[in-house]
Structure 1
Amino acid sequence: LMLDECLAERIGLPLDDLRTLVRHVESICQRSVGQRSPVVFLGPIYSYSYLAAVKHFGLGADLVPVTTISAAFEELVRGQAKFGVVPIENSTDGRIVDTLGMFARSPVQICGEVLLPVHHCLLGRCSRAEVTMVQSKPQALSQCRNWLAQHVPDAKLVEVASTAAAAALAAETPGTAAIASREAGLHHGLQVIDENIEDNLQNITRFAVIGHRESEPTGRDKTSLMFQLNHQPGTLAAAMIAFQRAAVNMTWIESFPLPNCPNEYLFFVELEGHQAEPSVSAALSELRGQTRRLEVLGSYPRG
């Protein structure tokens, strides 16, 4: 890590940009020598999931779009892909339910994460005054709700499968605008009517890199796990004491209802540290004795 920081300072690049550049070069080199490691992502290309995959794996990676989050997991389970990139949480809308649901029933690991600032653009082939319809995926429309009400109050809002699909449709339909990334607009030949139209300018989506590989400790790691408790008073509070005793900081917790099991929940938790570290290992060992089900989804470098 210190070497990366020194090199970034020497060449005048932010550390995150340097890491992305290195991944681009590595992925292009691997492809040039015939090393194929398919990476599935929630498509189509130029969706935010695609941009996250490029940020983590590089432009030369063998990126394969799928149409649903469940399909990304299924491709991994069938051995058709080596890695996947799926959204797990948005700073505005919260958890991504489809992703948490697939972790509950798929034997895959989290081996990395990507933090992607999401800056929405209004894209089209017309002026703002000429926009009669705005298309995007439901989450993007929700994240721009106030801006849309103020600046295009009469436009019809239409939900489509993805931001990239919205850009493709806007390129074909006069008077239709899309909410998508600048990159999607460039790809489809659209002009940026307005930029940074998200209501929360700190809008960030966190993506999980999934696969079957365990990551080695780096000193800047986090650990994800899920567990199920007996449905009794005080069981969650008792489970949390395991982290307190081991002095392990919990950074995220979400509950997820189990299908067809009334009043039964899975808890998804993220901790600072790697499961190989003594403190995290001790917390997990104590927690295992208090849960009906405990699965460590992976330890990996923080994004």
Structure 2
Amino acid sequence: MKKKRRGKKRRLPSQLPQLRRAIDRVDSQILKSLNKRTELTVDVGRLKAKKGISPYVPEREREVYEKMVRKNIGPITDASLKAIYREIMSGALSLMKQLKVAYLGPPYTFTHIASLKKFGSSIQYEPCDSITDCFTEVEKGRCDYAVVPIENSTEGVINHTLDMFIDSDMVICSEVYLNISHNLLAKCKKSQIKRIYSNPQVFGQCRLWLERNLPTAEFIEVSSTTRAAEIASRTKNAACIASSLAGEMYKLRNLARSIQDSAHNVTRFLVIGRTITNPTGRDKTSILFTVKDRVGALHDILVPFKRSKVNLTKIESRPSKKRAWKYYFFVDMEGHLENPRVKKALNGLEKGCTFFKVLGSYPAG
């Protein structure tokens, strides 16, 4: 009987060990620099603590990102560079103070993913059952910030979030945009699916795909995409529409990726806190107001923006729950509250309002 010949041991190209040693040397330099940077950041944190300043400063975060992107000559992409610096700053923040951030949970919802995109993985997170609970956690001082959804590019505004600003003292500190990719996840085969779980907004964003591909399936609405994944993981002939992270968490197979009807499916999230952010040079200001009940009142109230050449990027109305046929108006505009043109426009607007409130000035996402 012939002996089975062993394959020859693969030899690495002669330059590979040398290149790896060079990489090891660079890694050592990076580690040394990271620790030095962290020490300096902690020193900054001590100075901020003495002055009662929050360790998280959105305008400084923007400044660091933009400076690094300007200096980047590649081959690393700007997106990868930003992701690396997000985690560097997240780790440093956790040493200055253990920031606690509330979000509309449970874990692995898109709001959780947006929170990670904004604050990194070293921050302590608190999942909340509702948008109201997110606001309450910050108002009561149990969390430093909260991340809540405000609008989707295909489904429109999240009315509950808008309504919360009417009575809350919380302000908008920052915003996050997240590209939304919905996935059909299950433990069974696609042909075996009889019911699909997800939240109402997700079903709305995948309506056409579902009609074409699973027209006989029963659609069951639940509170979140993560809850949908949890149910699908233990229910026979069931699937869910959720993030790939939720699928990994519950060991579901990804049967179809990116099933949303619109290729440009983006959700905007707000970071709410207690203090207005300083100017960065590329900011937004959000306001809330009501107008007098007379013909042309809304037209007249918007004239100061035109005169001051302030661009409005969004205007939404919500009915008042305190008085019939009375409406609150939510407006986003370009520029910071400290910008002279914005300040002039708001002074002119406030004179014609029965109620006026600045919701925040913050870096544009």
Decide whether the 8 Å contact of 2:104 with 2:127 is kept in 1: yes
Partner of 2:92: 29
Structure 1 residue runs without a partner (length 5+): none
Q: Note the 1:33-72 alignment, pairs <5 A.
A: 33=95, 35-72=97-134
Partner of 2:36: none
Partner of 1:88: 150
Asked if residue 149 in structure 1 is aligned to residue 149 in structure 2, the reply is no
Partner of 1:167: 229
Amino acid at match of 1:4: M
More helix by share: 2
Partner of 1:76: 138
Deviation of 1:23 after TM superposition, in Å, equals 2.0
Q: Note the 1:96-175 alignment, pairs <5 A.
A: 96-175=158-237
SS of aligned partner of 1:208: strand
- 2: CA distance, partners of 1:8 / 1:97: 40
1:260 to 1:293, Cα distance in 2 relative to 1, 3 A:
closer
Decide whether the 8 Å contact of 1:25 with 1:60 is kept in 2: no
User: Taking CA–CA contacts closer than 8 Å with sequence separation of 6 or more, which of the two structures ends up with the larger relative contact order?
Assistant: 1
Equivalent residue for 1:12, pick from 76, 84, 104 = 76
Deviates more, 1:20-29 or 1:33-42: 20-29
Amino acid at match of 1:243: F
Structure 2 residue runs without a partner (length 5+): 1-62
Deviation of 1:5 after TM superposition, in Å, equals 2.0
- 1: CA distance, partners of 2:96 / 2:328: 42
1:110 to 1:131, Cα distance in 2 relative to 1, 3 A:
same
Decide whether the 8 Å contact of 2:148 with 2:161 is kept in 1: yes
Partner of 2:364: 302
SS of aligned partner of 2:91: helix
Deviates more, 1:179-188 or 1:265-274: 179-188
Deviation of 1:168 after TM superposition, in Å, equals 1.1
Rg (Cα) greater in structure = 2
SS of aligned partner of 2:248: helix
- 1: CA distance, partners of 2:213 / 2:186: 15
Q: Residue deviations 1:135-171, cap 9 Å, x none?
A: 0001001111111111011111000000011011111
With normalisation by structure 1, the TM-score equals 0.96
SS of aligned partner of 1:270: strand
Deviation of 1:34 after TM superposition, in Å, equals 6.5
Amino acid at match of 1:3: K
Partner of 1:232: 294
Identity between Structure 1 and Structure 2 (%): 38
Amino acid at match of 1:288: E
Deviation of 1:103 after TM superposition, in Å, equals 0.6
- 2: CA distance, partners of 1:297 / 1:20: 28
- RMSD over aligned CA atoms reads 1.3
Partner of 2:8: none
Partner of 2:313: 251
- 2: CA distance, partners of 1:111 / 1:9: 31
With normalisation by structure 2, the TM-score equals 0.80
